[in-house]
Structure 1
Amino acid sequence: MLFRQTILEGIADGSVTLAFRRWKRCGVRGGSRLRTPVGVVEIDGVEEYAADDVTPQDAASAGYASLDDLWKDLAPDGTLFRIALHLSGPDPRTELRERGDLDAEEIAEVRLALDRIDRASRRTPWTVDLLLLIQERPMTPAAVLAERLGRRTAALKSDVRRLKELGLTESLDVGYRLSARGETVARALAPTVKKGEIPGGRDTLNASG
């Protein structure tokens, strides 16, 4: 469930407490939580709703100036759902990203988490290599990183999201960078990787071009 930036700002300041969606099948349920750029949004309740029952106040509570504006923003087909929501707190990944003062035990825990991801993967271990590549090439388009690693762009983005879940990376308008936490982890793990190595021996971190 995605929100426009203006709606997110309203959720953050408490002025937006509703959302309306037309779906063939309901996409959220009461009690679920969504991570957004402004923090964690909690779904208080979901109900099917008749279009004639939507009031101008409902539209205002959903962040729209009028009912017409609301209808213009909805999909043309599907069941109408009225979703009550509120901002429940900050995204826990934000706090993780900002903490760069990790001790040896915390670094070991991150390494174990990366090892678990690698073991569950069907390919050569990749987590540390990708972390170090982003460290070396911040703000590099995902497509360029994917080409260097021999990955499809969509698959590379999925890989980066796995690192982001651990608070190690941040998404930028173009490409990524390591968070303070990621920088600390990368410095600690770099000696464990043979310099210039990338999975599959396809390229090197220090290669030109």
Structure 2
Amino acid sequence: MQFRVRDREAIANGELTATFRRWRSPQARVGGRYRLDPIVIEVTAVDQIDPSEISVADARAAGHDSPAAVLGAIHRIQRKSADPSAPLYRVRFICLGEQPDPRSILAAEAGLDSEELTAITARLAKMDSRARHGAWTRTTLAAISATPGRRAAELAAAQGRETQKFKTDVRKLKALGLTISLEVGYELSPRGRVVLNALQSASSND
């Protein structure tokens, strides 16, 4: 789950303990932990609700004055990525405080030797071979490199893919330390740039 920078500060201060999202199916699970650098939150409840069920207390827990303000915010924030007819979910969570992110440490490591680079490219090739929609890792890395900060929905559309499935794939790249999530969109990490250069060089030599 993504939150704006100002919302992350409120979460860290304990002022925000809930969020509302429109999803075709839940994209968060109870007990799941989600990093909002530098803090981590743990989801305590995920409930599908009708908009009329949003209470004033719910709205305030999500940082809004009223249920109407909640719905207005959802429309503004998710207007390009969410289906307005998709079910509405209320997600409650607690803040676990600041925790080191091993992916950030990994992402900053650009000094890869040939053995490490071979291992990563082999891992990406395996991910490509398992994908039903065909090879995607190099294309996705290249798209992020060319347009850092571009919305996930726009990147997905440019590749003819569903936004949520595209986001899932980008998270796989992030787990390898190759991408960095921005407030909007993504960028390649130093490690990701090295790997993309290697993939493009290998492709040009084929």
Q: TM class by shorter-chain length?
A: 0.5 to 0.7
Distance in structure 2 (CA, Å) of the matches to 1:170 and 1:190: 20
2:196 to 186, 189, 192: 186
**C-alpha spacing 1:87/1:98, structure 2 compared with 1 (3 Å):** farther
String of CA shifts for 1:85-121, please: whole Å, max 9, x gaps. Answer: 0144244433332222233343233223201211112
Residue 17 of structure 2 corresponds to which residue in structure 1? Answer: 18
Distance in structure 2 (CA, Å) of the matches to 1:133 and 1:21: 30
Residues 157-172 of structure 1: pairs in structure 2 closer than 5 A: 157-158=166-167, 159-171=169-181
- Please tell me whether residue 121 in structure 1 is matched to residue 117 in structure 2: no
CA contact (8 A) 2:55 2:67 kept: no
The letter for the 1-side match of 2:110 is G
**C-alpha spacing 1:138/1:86, structure 2 compared with 1 (3 Å):** same
- Please tell me whether residue 152 in structure 1 is matched to residue 167 in structure 2: no
- Count of aligned pairs: 181
Superposed displacement of residue 131, structure 1: 3.0
Distance in structure 2 (CA, Å) of the matches to 1:162 and 1:173: 18
String of CA shifts for 1:55-83, please: whole Å, max 9, x gaps. Answer: 9xx94xx374xxx715444459x999683
The letter for the 1-side match of 2:200 is A
Residues 24-173 of structure 1: pairs in structure 2 closer than 5 A: 28-36=28-36, 38-43=38-43, 45-46=44-45, 54=57, 59=60, 62=61, 64=63, 69-74=65-70, 83-88=92-97, 89-132=99-142, 134-135=144-145, 137-139=146-148, 151-152=159-160, 154=162, 157-158=166-167, 159-171=169-181
Query: Any idea what SS the aligned residue of 2:204 has?
Result: coil
Distance in structure 2 (CA, Å) of the matches to 1:51 and 1:177: 36
Distance in structure 2 (CA, Å) of the matches to 1:132 and 1:8: 29
Superposed displacement of residue 180, structure 1: 0.5
Query: Any idea what SS the aligned residue of 2:116 has?
Result: helix
Residue 7 of structure 1 corresponds to which residue in structure 2? Answer: 7
CA contact (8 A) 2:108 2:191 kept: yes
Distance in structure 2 (CA, Å) of the matches to 1:112 and 1:29: 31
What is the TM-score with the length of structure 1 in the denominator?
0.58
The letter for the 1-side match of 2:160 is R
Distance in structure 2 (CA, Å) of the matches to 1:145 and 1:20: 24
Superposed displacement of residue 37, structure 1: 5.1
Give me the CA root mean square deviation: 4.7
Q: What are structure 1's unaligned runs of at least 5 residues?
A: 198-209
Distance in structure 1 (CA, Å) of the matches to 2:88 and 2:188: 41
String of CA shifts for 1:113-159, please: whole Å, max 9, x gaps. Answer: 20121111235534234434654x34485758965xxx316469445
Distance in structure 2 (CA, Å) of the matches to 1:112 and 1:41: 33
The letter for the 2-side match of 1:16 is E
CA contact (8 A) 1:168 1:182 kept: yes
Distance in structure 2 (CA, Å) of the matches to 1:189 and 1:125: 13
Distance in structure 1 (CA, Å) of the matches to 2:67 and 2:110: 45
Distance in structure 2 (CA, Å) of the matches to 1:134 and 1:21: 28
**C-alpha spacing 1:80/1:54, structure 2 compared with 1 (3 Å):** farther
Q: What are structure 2's unaligned runs of at least 5 residues?
A: 48-52, 73-86
Percent of aligned pairs with the same amino acid: 31
